[in-house]
Structure 1
């Protein structure tokens, strides 16, 4: 077997393989002879069909069979001899000349990019320093009350914070436009879910009023045809409701899992959850900076096959998050391409760091990570058992631990500067 390699565009390689023709012909003859023992053709007794006729009738199919088997068997060996690391399935093109006794093929595929890890020395990372305050606890409690609020109709003009039920019809340059009409639409004044300026103009309206709202679509509006254009909406107010917040009492607390209604215990649980969230957000911000530094120091091309796989994975994740809604619509690759490229590149680089540093997930650290994740659930032990009952689920935790080890290793090469901030500021930044 003779093997040669041609370099194509980027990571593409063309592997040319010439197979030993004599061995292939011998195998073809052997199979035809074995077949001759039982072959049946009109006018001949079983086993008496001339070899010439067998070659005419079955020679091509046997040759394809033998050639296919030799291609399949030889490709791994050819890859090993060439010291290549292919990605994805190869495209194989036969290179045959039966008259000349030539059997070969060309396999085209991508290879893993070569990577020489660069040090991150000289780089820097900002580590946020914050603590959970009583104000953060109170803000969270207020948010929890907001989650349980109910609405009651009122006979007065609308104020900020009220919810309106309304019909509307919008026009641009005196003409209706797609998506500019709605019936029985609920709008919470101050929630910021409508076009900027729309909600504020409804303050002071009451049931039966028909105000006219004039706004301009933002320049970056998601529908390009409407971006930056002024619009005029005719509105009919059908209902005005005010929010009624529940008291922070035993009944409300029980809805959040504290069955005995102990307010102090509830506050302690809220604070503990906020502190876990703070630790996770701080860790995530540092990790993102380290990953950015790692990518910047180690730029590398991404194999198209791996990129396509990651794009499809992200697409499926989004469809699952949407509950399968619109599953008949295939979301475009461009929506996921940038994130997929980053994830693939980081995966390759992180794998090389793990290999060079011989990192492995310590069982005790894996256990601690699972317990930390389980702590925010009502039944932590059930969550722990859930992970340890399935090797695949536990492997996902081990991957998280490995990434943490990689970050810790790389932080030793970086200058870390602590920056005072607040819990609310850190949360806003990451959202």
Structure 2
């Protein structure tokens, strides 16, 4: 039996559930008898253990199971009878006062909110577009060349030349010994032997790189170096040290020529440079299209959040915060980080979780109202699009269709794209061209 639904807040509700104690005892006895058929105990054959001994061993566990089953079933029945859409899990606690011979529990929970979506025709959304020009292809080739760089001793003649005058310059790889001291005292981390870095890449502080420029092998230089106030080494942050560096090795960078061999290294079997550039262009266009789609989807989602009114269940936010915290922990562990004793407070993810839950509720409303569910044909087309960049597209299809969870991820992706298309079709859309580098961000840098 359940009482009438109490309204405690905008979304919070409470129901009191009760049922006869005899129902629990009857069910416990029934389950104990079933357990006794296979119970084992020293001195007794299986199935011949006295019921009292079975009750002593399994009674508490079985009673807990019976209570959980009855309370859960009673709560679900009450929710269905009252047409309640329960968000998350209820908080169920025993009720102190109950009628004689009855067990009573208070179930406090939240319900899904009403979602009011404003006039999409009045919404203004700015989308982006970007092109891949020959300059972007050239820049990508330069990046690929730098990824295949070879270093040779500077000043020594070789197959590719001698690299010029044997003094340290930007682009050279230098190997140095160095020692630093503050007020004449060496400090932890301020000394190294055989330390290699490429000049001009910004790996070292500017004063360190400036002092290395112009040195020849065997030469040393002493110079002051001021550590920034926000330097990661707290013991030296904001202090000035005296460093002495000695150049032990000097190498110049040889970038591979853009020739047939270079093309072959990129997977162009016949070394055709025209085909190489076309392959690079296709890959860049695919990457640009993906980023444009992501940016435009984000713009649509931002617009939906502004135009929709709803209260977000705290229960769902808490659950998603826990999920995000665990996903972060697993991701860091997979990257080789030791996170065993690292705390991941769910509260840190609350803002992101609130946005995710809010959007989920809005999308669910839009999809249901406008029949925007993903069709099997759309799902297949999306997987086939993914498969284009793999050697064996059939294996990609098999990968997704063999696992319902993976297929569900694709369905969710298609559903979001359906919503984006629907919203853009109704709203006031303006398009802005963005530069390739801006769109690609740090990935466009060498």
Report if TM-score (shorter chain) is over 0.5.
yes
Q: How far apart, in 1, do the equivalents of 2:186 and 2:14 lie?
A: 58
How much has 1:346 moved relative to structure 2? 2.4
Give the superposition deviation at 1:260.
Answer: 1.6
> d(CA) in 1 for partners of 2:127 and 2:139?
24
- Give per-residue Cα distances to partners, 1:30-87, cap 9 Å, x unaligned: 9769999x9xxxxxxxxxxxxxx9xxx99x9697675444223212112334544444
Is residue 413 of structure 2 the alignment partner of residue 400 of structure 1? yes
The equivalent residue for 1:307 is 321
Which stretch shows the higher mean deviation, 279-288 or 301-310?
301-310
- 1:406 deviates by 0.9
**Equivalent residue, structure 2, for 1:251:** 261
Query: In the alignment, what sits opposite 2:431?
Result: 418
Give the alignment of 1:76-95 within 5 angstroms: 76-95=76-95
The alpha-carbon distance between structure 1 residues 220 and 403, as it changes in their structure 2 partners (threshold 3 A), is: farther
Bigger Cα displacement from structure 2, 273-282 vs 363-372: 363-372
Aligned residue among 282, 296, 319 for 2:306:
296
Q: CA–CA distance in 1 between the matches of 2:400 and 2:87? A: 31
Alignment match, 1:28 = 25
Spell out, residue by residue over 1:184-225, the C-alpha distance to the aligned partner (whole angstroms, 9 max, x if none): 433222222334554344222333344345455556656677
Report the CA distance between 1:236 and its aligned residue. 3.7
Match of 1:41 in 2: none
> 1:129-159, CA deviations, whole angstroms, 9 ceiling, x for partnerless residues?
3321111111111111111111122252211
CA distance in structure 1 between the aligned counterparts of 2:181 and 2:368, rounded to whole angstroms: 62
8 A contact 2:129–2:433 mirrored in 1? yes
Q: How far apart in 2 are the matches of 1:329 and 1:7?
A: 42
Determine helix, strand or coil for the equivalent of 1:416. strand
Partners of 2:318 and 2:350 within 8 A in 1: no
Name which of 345, 365, 369 aligns with 2:378: 365
Provide TM-score, normalisation by structure 1.
0.79
Q: Is the Cα contact below 8 Å between 2:329 and 2:339 reproduced in 1?
A: no
Using the TM superposition, give the Cα deviation of residue 173 of structure 1 relative to its aligned residue in structure 2, in angstroms: 6.7
Instruction: Classify 1:167/1:405 alpha carbon distance in 2 versus 1 (closer, same or farther; 3 Å).
Output: farther
Counterpart of 1:152 in structure 2 is 152
1:354 equivalent among 359, 367, 370:
367
Q: Deviation of residue 181 (structure 1)?
A: 4.8
8 A Cα contact 1:257 1:378, kept in partner: no
- Change in Cα spacing, 1:99 to 1:268, as seen in structure 2 (3 Å) is closer
Change (3 A) 1:265 1:71: same
Contact 2:228 2:237 (8 Å CA) reproduced: yes
> Aligned residue for 1:47?
none
The Cα shift of 1:296 comes to 3.1
Is the CA contact 1:315–1:336 (under 8 Å) kept in the aligned structure 2?
no
Cα contact 1:211–1:236 (8 A) shared by 2: yes
Q: Secondary structure at the match of 2:95?
A: strand
Shift of 1:126: 2.8
Contact 2:28 2:63 in 1 (8 A): no
Q: Give the secondary structure class of the aligned counterpart of 2:93.
A: strand
Q: Deviations over 1:354-405 (max 9, x none)?
A: 2222212233333332233222334444434433444433332222111111
The alignment's TM-score, normalised by the length of structure 2, stands at 0.77
Distance 1:338 1:221 in 2: 29
The 1-side partners of 2:118 and 2:233 are apart by 43
CA–CA separation in structure 2 for the residues paired with 1:410 and 1:196: 50
Shift of residue 423, structure 1, vs aligned partner: 2.0
Looking at structure 2, the residues matched to 399 and 170 of structure 1 have their Cα atoms a distance apart, in angstroms, of 56
Structure 1 gap ranges (5+): 39-52
Residue 412 of structure 1 aligns to a residue whose secondary structure is helix
**Match among 263, 271, 280 for residue 270 of structure 1:** 280
Give yes or no for contact 2:98–2:104 (8 Å, CA) kept in 1. Answer: no
How far the C-alpha of 1:266 sits from its partner, in A, is 1.1
Q: Does 1:409 align with 2:422?
A: yes
**Structure 1 stretch 175-184 or stretch 374-383: which is displaced more?**
175-184
The equivalent residue for 1:286 is: 296
Measured in 2, the distance between the counterparts of 1:223 and 1:14 equals 54
Inter-CA distance 95–234: structure 2 relative to 1 (3 Å threshold): farther
1:50 counterpart residue number = none
Choose which of 208, 217, 224 in structure 1 pairs with 2:218: 208
**Partner of 1:70: helix, strand, or coil?**
helix
